């Protein structure tokens, strides 16, 4: 990739670029936790009536977590196989259907169907640019943020009873993912929290 495509681009400039490029239909947005991925996804929803596949919709109910659970990638607390399959099926066949995680019930909930071509589709979450998925996107976006303050920003956002999991499981698992060098797979970088 050229230095120009790897340079920082502001959110407004990204939206202008997308308006000028009708061929971009499937976008991957990745970055550290609390970097601004969902904020960018929200802007794309408002600007383009985009539909979003959120990694957070693929949480594995805690009663199904492997024991003992240890930090790793793919994340052991997510239904990563279902996440990867949904994005791959969407890219290859033009539609996918997957079961959402119900945050209130702490269990699997309703099903969602997404069709490619009807509107802009965004795949958002830590691992959206995983090696397996990156080749499928028309555009790959990394949200740059202050890595040194990620844990504290996560705790400040409010994690309830999940503080230990953030310290001992979630952030160490993200570190394992970062070893796969997802930033190198991005086409563009958008500044996020603290960047």
> pTM of the prediction?
0.93
The pLDDT assigned to 22 comes to: 85
Beta pairing, strands 26-31 & 139-144? parallel
Residue with tokens 């996918």: 96
Taking the C-alpha atoms of residue 175 and residue 170, their distance in angstroms, rounded to an integer, is 9
**Count of the separate structural domains present in the chain:** 1
> Considering the domain boundaries, does residue 130 fall inside one?
yes
Q: Residues 102-155: pLDDT tens digits? A: 999 999 999 999 999 879 999 999 999 999 999 999 999 999 999 888 878 887
Q: What's the CATH number where 60 sits?
A: 3.40.50.300
Distances (CA, A) of 13 to 47, 60, 131, 152, 183: 12, 36, 26, 29, 20
DSSP assignment of 24-64 equals --EEEEEESTTSSHHHHHHHHHHHH--EEEEGGGGBPPGGG
> Considering the domain boundaries, does residue 154 fall inside one?
yes
> Considering the domain boundaries, does residue 163 fall inside one?
yes
> Considering the domain boundaries, does residue 48 fall inside one?
yes
The parent domain of residue 171 ranges over: 7-191
Taking the C-alpha atoms of residue 172 and residue 75, their distance in angstroms, rounded to an integer, is 10
> Considering the domain boundaries, does residue 25 fall inside one?
yes
> Considering the domain boundaries, does residue 137 fall inside one?
yes
Q: Which two tokens stand for residue 89?
A: 């099926």
């Amino acid at each position: 990739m050229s230095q120009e495509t790897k340079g920082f681009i502001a959110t407004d400039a990204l939206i202008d670029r997308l308006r000028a490029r009708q061929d971009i239909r499937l976008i991957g947005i990745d970055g550290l936790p609390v970097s601004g991925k969902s904020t960018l996804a929200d802007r794309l929803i408002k600007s383009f009536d985009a539909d979003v596949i959120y990694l957070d919709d693929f949480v594995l109910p805690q009663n199904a977590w492997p024991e003992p659970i240890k930090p790793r990638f793919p994340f052991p607390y997510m239904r990563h196989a279902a996440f990867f399959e949904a994005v791959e099926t969407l890219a290859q066949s033009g539609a996918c259907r997957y079961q959402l995680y119900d945050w209130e019930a702490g269990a699997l909930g309703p099903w969602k169907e997404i069709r490619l071509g009807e509107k802009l589709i965004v795949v958002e979450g830590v691992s959206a640019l995983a090696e397996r998925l990156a080749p499928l996107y028309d555009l790959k976006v990394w949200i740059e943020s202050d890595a040194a303050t990620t844990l504290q920003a996560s705790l400040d956002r409010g994690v309830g009873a999940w503080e230990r999991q953030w310290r001992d499981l979630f952030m160490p698992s993200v570190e394992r993912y970062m070893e796969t060098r997802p930033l190198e797979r991005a086409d563009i970088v958008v500044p996020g929290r603290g960047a």
